[in-house]
């Protein structure tokens, strides 16, 4: 990568588009070297652990260079594009990697996608990792290797206790190609002694760390594990019949969040099967209501309203657990999460202050949430601060499930498929619209009585939707 030294060239650095994110992957370039750009123009799309985000350029000028090709993961604070702001034409430079795919023209249109159900899933957690400033002297790796783990070896960041006054080693410094080499060779960058300027780890450092250590005694010692020496397992892959997909971005964050939630909060799940024939009739009537014209009206709308009424009747369910302070935090607002399946994984955007919305306002918010999620444009802010969640597995024909809590929330309601089934109605067996609801809750916050009341209230409203009026 050529360094720009001219005063007229501005370097645009990868911003922290979330809260404390440390890196992002460049998904698509919308400009090429030589293109003119204006202040506010979107130049690329990047994916973080939270969402895909479009990045606008903050000044006018001509693109001089794209420093990284598509598919590269770049640290926050690293320059990704150079722009000549002098106003004149300037020599242009190609992206850093010769084998990189060509930049995507700004007017490229995505191929149309078939309609797919999106309201399902178990959610992601906002990352709490914040990158330390790269300042101060380096310390011996031996003192920090137990405290720092990199994402390149498949583990999340770990921060064990450190004695008071003891130095903490910063995140290892290495360029993306060196990080990839370390990942391929199975080398933990936290254990590598850097030899480059300013403590940067070089390719030679990684190769040296991967090389087997010479014997220091005459006593025979067990052979070093094979994976440390080279990516030998690649030879065992059946590339003709297997495809390996790197776990990163939203999917990686989802996996980490679900493991953390499943093994932190003691889950309890309760089920109830109910007759929702009257609710389905009300849905059809509301579709003809002029006050709801042009809005998304479906069973999920009334299920969401039923859950909000149940929370109003049982407010203690709307809370979170503060482990650090050993406190239960009761929420006097409801940010209603709707789990959505997207091409990049499951996300849970939420409707802010859903408890205060009228039915038309709730319908509008649901419609906007689903459309934004399908387009892959859900912002990190839209996925933060949720209190309870609904996951609609019924759109896939599934009867029910045992949903995992979205981290930081107290309850999640799974809605199964609504089907015609034989049901005893007024003393006779008749075909009725039937569904199964499943409510998972955090047993530290919600005991069996409270969880049962919430689920029973939701069921009662959906069996007799007039309770939306009498209970509201």
Tens-place pLDDT, residues 154-199: 444 433 444 444 444 567 787 777 787 777 777 888 888 888 877 8
**Which residues, 6 or more positions from 391, have their beta carbon under 8 angstroms from its beta carbon?**
119, 120, 121, 122, 339, 401, 403, 412, 413, 414, 415
Cα 111 to Cα 99, 114, 371, distances in angstroms? 25, 10, 16
Q: Tell me 73's DSSP state.
A: E
Tens-place pLDDT, residues 79-132: 999 999 986 554 444 454 433 444 444 444 444 444 455 444 333 334 333 433
Tens-place pLDDT, residues 328-358: 999 999 999 999 888 777 889 999 999 999 9
Q: Which tokens is 149 given? A: 């783990």
Distance CA 224, CA 348 (A): 44
Nearest to 454 by CA among 400, 414, 413: 413
Confidence of residue 250 (pLDDT cuts 50, 70, 90): low
Tens-place pLDDT, residues 12-61: 998 876 655 688 889 899 999 999 999 889 999 888 766 778 899 988 99
Nearest to 96 by CA among 125, 71, 126: 71
In this predicted structure, what is the pLDDT of residue 337? 96
In CATH, which of 2.40.50.100, 2.40.128.720, 2.60.40.10, 2.40.400.10 is domain 9-84? 2.40.50.100
In this predicted structure, what is the pLDDT of residue 84? 93
Q: Which of 145-154, 270-279, 451-460 has the lowest mean pLDDT?
A: 145-154
Tens-place pLDDT, residues 206-216: 778 776 555 44
Q: Which tokens is 422 given? A: 């034989």
Distance CA 124, CA 260 (A): 10
Instruction: Tell me the mean pLDDT in the region 137-160.
Output: 40
Name the 3-class secondary structure at 190.
helix
User: Angle 210-215-221 (CA atoms, 0-180°, nearest 5)?
Assistant: 95
Backbone angles phi, psi at 60, to 5 degrees: -90, 155
Check: CB of residue 172 under 8 Å from CB of residue 164: no
Count CA atoms within 13 Å of residue 390 on its CB side. 30
Strands 350-351 and 345-347: unpaired
In this predicted structure, what is the pLDDT of residue 125? 38
Crossing angle for the helix pair 203-210 and 176-185, to the nearest 10 degrees? 10
Cα 366 to Cα 118, 156, 332, 385, 400, distances in angstroms? 12, 33, 21, 17, 22
In this predicted structure, what is the pLDDT of residue 160? 46
DSSP count for the chain of H helices, then E strands: 9, 21
DSSP string, 276-324: -HHHHHHHHHHHT-GGGTTS--SHHHHHHHHHHHHHHHSGGGSEEEETT
Q: Is the pLDDT of residue 276 over 50?
A: yes
For tokens 């957690």, the residue is 125
Q: What pTM did the predictor assign?
A: 0.57
Q: Which residue has the higher pLDDT, 449 or 472?
A: 449
Q: What percent of the chain clears pLDDT 90, i.e. is strictly above it?
A: 44
Check: CB of residue 318 under 8 Å from CB of residue 413: no
Check: CB of residue 17 under 8 Å from CB of residue 53: yes
Q: Is 443 a catalytic residue?
A: yes
Distance CA 423, CA 63 (A): 67
Q: Which of 155, 267, 355, 443 is catalytic?
A: 443
Q: Is the pLDDT of residue 418 over 90?
A: yes
In CATH, which of 3.30.559.10, 3.90.226.10, 1.10.10.10, 3.30.428.10 is domain 250-470? 3.30.559.10
Enumerate the domain spans of the chain. Answer: 9-84, 250-470
Tens-place pLDDT, residues 217-244: 455 555 555 555 555 544 466 777 788 7
Q: How far apart are the first and last CA of the chain?
A: 63
Q: Is the pLDDT of residue 470 over 80?
A: yes
Crossing angle for the helix pair 277-287 and 448-463, to the nearest 10 degrees? 60
In this predicted structure, what is the pLDDT of residue 163? 43
């Amino acid at each position: 990568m050529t360094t720009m030294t001219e005063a007229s060239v501005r370097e645009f650095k990868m911003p922290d588009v979330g809260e404390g994110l440390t890196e992002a992957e460049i998904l698509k370039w919308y400009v090429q070297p030589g293109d003119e750009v204006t202040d506010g123009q979107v130049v690329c799309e990047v994916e973080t652990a939270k969402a895909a985000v479009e990045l606008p350029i903050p000044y006018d000028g001509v693109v001089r260079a794209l420093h990284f090709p598509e598919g590269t993961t770049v640290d926050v604070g690293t320059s990704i594009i150079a722009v000549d702001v002098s106003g004149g034409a300037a020599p242009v430079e190609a992206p850093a990697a010769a084998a990189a795919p060509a930049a995507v023209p700004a007017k490229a249109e995505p191929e149309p996608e078939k309609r797919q159900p999106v309201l399902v899933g178990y959610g992601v957690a906002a990352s709490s990792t914040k990158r330390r400033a790269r300042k101060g002297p380096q310390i011996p790796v031996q003192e920090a290797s137990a405290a720092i783990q990199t994402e390149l070896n498949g583990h999340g960041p770990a921060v064990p206790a450190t004695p008071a006054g003891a130095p903490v080693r910063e995140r290892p410094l290495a360029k993306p190609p060196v990080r990839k080499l370390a990942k391929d060779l199975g080398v933990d960058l936290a254990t590598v002694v850097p030899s480059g300027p300013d403590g940067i780890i070089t390719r030679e450092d990684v190769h040296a760390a991967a090389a087997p250590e010479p014997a220091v005694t005459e006593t025979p010692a067990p052979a070093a594990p094979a994976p440390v020496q080279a990516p030998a397992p690649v030879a065992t892959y059946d590339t003709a019949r297997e495809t390996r997909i790197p776990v990163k971005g939203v999917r990686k964050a989802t996996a980490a969040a679900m493991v953390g939630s499943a093994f932190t909060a003691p889950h309890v799940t309760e089920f109830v099967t109910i007759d929702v024939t009257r609710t389905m009739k009300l849905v059809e009537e509301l579709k003809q209501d002029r006050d709801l014209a042009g809005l998304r009206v479906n069973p999920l709308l009334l299920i969401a309203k039923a859950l909000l009424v149940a929370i109003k009747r049982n407010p203690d369910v709307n809370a979170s657990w503060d482990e650090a302070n050993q406190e239960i935090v009761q929420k006097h607002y409801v940010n209603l999460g709707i789990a959505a399946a997207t091409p990049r994984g499951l996300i849970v955007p939420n409707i802010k202050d859903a408890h205060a919305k009228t039915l038309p306002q709730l319908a509008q918010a649901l419609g906007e949430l689903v459309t934004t999620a399908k387009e892959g444009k859900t912002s990190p802010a839209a996925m933060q601060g949720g209190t309870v969640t609904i996951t609609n597995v019924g759109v896939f024909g599934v009867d029910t499930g045992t949903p995992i809590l979205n981290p930081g929330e107290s309850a999640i309601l799974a809605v199964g498929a609504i089907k015609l089934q034989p049901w005893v109605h007024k003393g006779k067996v008749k075909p009725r619209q039937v569904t199964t609801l499943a409510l998972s809750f955090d047993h530290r916050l919600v005991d069996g009585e409270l969880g049962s009341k919430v689920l029973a209230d939701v069921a009662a409203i959906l069996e007799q939707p007039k309770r939306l009026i009498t209970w509201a």
